[in-house]
Structure 1
């Protein structure tokens, strides 16, 4: 080796991982609520979700959503679920300036998996609607939706007093739900409401329906015969059908 020369290799990923783990360990967590997440800067970084003080999920930001955006979305996702109290979910997050050079999320998951069960990372938590073709798919018993099914009897405050098409009532309900409500669309134009939903008028409410179940039943009561609404563990569907889903519960039929 030449005089006055040395080769030096610095293990940046390992050093950054250790620093982050130590920082997370020493910092306090905050409740995963809208009030707290809105105080977080919408910058790039990594975060963890905890239930009962145990890390259950590790995530990172991307080009479309910073820390505030990601945490706010998660805070909404955990609402209206059975077996899960939103106040029991906490978060810790850190802005990371040296971020694009490595996949910190994978490093953190691998680290916490050694001592904790970060099962939300592999449970389908936060997934988008899988679509009609997946409605009959069997759920994994350990999945997020299977462990925390949607709560049909959670209070809602829809922004309509009735006297409008069923499609409008469904739109008002969607605005209140942190999960998917999918209804059959117009043939050949699935993004448009089915004519039955447009032409069927939900009369003015004598008493406004106060839960998700009550709103769905109010819509079914005015639809032509043949419609069925089913609660799957992570979403509600409304189609012209008469069938049983292994993982679903029939809310009602018209």
Structure 2
């Protein structure tokens, strides 16, 4: 028998999670390439990435960085890595009009972590930003995304230069603008966001403005001289005035 006052406790997160899981299960995978992703609304939502048909990553977007922009970024990231190709990566994306995408991401990760196929890339560093100078000596564990899929130094890039010359600072800045992985270089004393004076003063001789990342970094090293070191770490490149051995790093020498 009902009364004039009753209580209703509705588990909205669980209900929404169940609907999302069912919807994802019914959806086909799309190919993570620019042509497919361009047809998606740049809106708030959640998405899944698949590697050879296996769920590996769950992500979210908001109004500032929508689904299209985020998925395009992931497509570029895959292009910038060895051992990965577009034809092995698929995605599913759902625009969400209610609730918060952040809560949904956490709910989905928690749900799939308990499944037979947990999203392994969520736990391996995929999508993370540059960890900073203090982490350059970190030895990555087996299975870490950067260790399994290190950066590709053989990617072709195209630079802008006058008469085949440009400062090392300009070359490195242009590389950063074309690559998904970071190229971090030493800043000016007291002004870490500005290039070091040596990088501005050094002139890089470019045999061609169309070349691979590796060949261009070799020419930057030649311009900087022996006091500077360029190191390719699994997930990014660092350029500093130093002489240091990194367990996970490869020194790039002059051509």
What's 1:194 paired with? 196
Q: Scaled by the length of structure 2, what TM-score is found?
A: 0.91
Answer yes or no: is 1:72 the counterpart of 2:72. yes
Shift in Å at residue 102 of structure 1?
A: 7.8
Match of 1:125 in 2: 126
Deviating more after overlay: 100-109 vs 37-46 = 100-109
Distance in 1 between residues matched to 2:211 and 2:138, nearest whole Å? 31
Q: Give me the whole-angstrom Cα distance separating, in 2, the residues matched to 1:191 and 1:19.
A: 46
Alignment match, 1:243 = 244
Q: Distance in 2 between matches of 1:68 and 1:96?
A: 14
TM-score, normalised by the number of residues in structure 1? 0.91
In structure 1, C-alpha distance between the alignment counterparts of 2:210 and 2:13, rounded to whole Å:
54
- Does 2:158 correspond to 1:144? no
CA contact (8 A) 1:32 1:71 kept: yes
Asked if structure 2 preserves the Cα contact closer than 8 Å seen for 1:43 and 1:95, the reply is yes
Residue aligning to 1:103: 103
2:177 aligned partner: 175
Does 2:157 correspond to 1:156? yes
Q: What residue in structure 2 maps to residue 16 of structure 1?
A: 16
After superposition, residues 203-222 of structure 1 pair within 5 angstroms as 203=205, 205-208=206-209, 210-222=211-223
Distance in 1, matches of 2:147 and 2:242, equals 24
Question: What residue in structure 1 maps to residue 32 of structure 2?
Answer: 32
C-alpha contact (below 8 Å) 2:228/2:243 kept by paired residues: yes
Indicate the RMSD between aligned Cα atoms, in angstroms: 2.1
**Following TM superposition, by how much is the alpha carbon of 1:14 offset from its aligned partner in structure 2, in angstroms?**
2.2
Gaps of 5+ in 2: none
State the distance in 2 between where 1:142 and 1:46 align.
24
1:5 Cα offset (Å): 6.5
Measured against aligned partners, the alpha-carbon deviations of 1:110-163 in whole angstroms (never above 9, x if no partner) come to 222212131111111111111111111221222111111111122222333632
Q: Supply the distance in 2 between the matched residues of 1:164 and 1:85 (Cα, whole angstroms).
A: 32
CA contact (8 A) 1:196 1:224 kept: no
Q: Is the 8 A contact 2:156 2:210 kept in 1?
A: no
Contact (CA 8 Å) 1:226, 1:253: kept in 2 or not?
no
Which has the higher mean CA deviation after the structures are superposed, 48-57 or 10-19? 10-19
- Tell me if the contact between 1:50 and 1:90 (Cα under 8 Å) persists in the aligned partners: yes
Paired with 2:213 and 2:173, the residues of 1 have a C-alpha distance of 12
1:81 alignment partner in structure 2: 81
Alignment partner of 1:221: what SS? Answer: helix
Aligned to 2:211, the other structure's residue is in SS state coil
Q: Which has a greater percent of helix?
A: 2
Partner of 1:43: 43
List gaps (5 residues or longer) in structure 1: none
Aligned length: 253
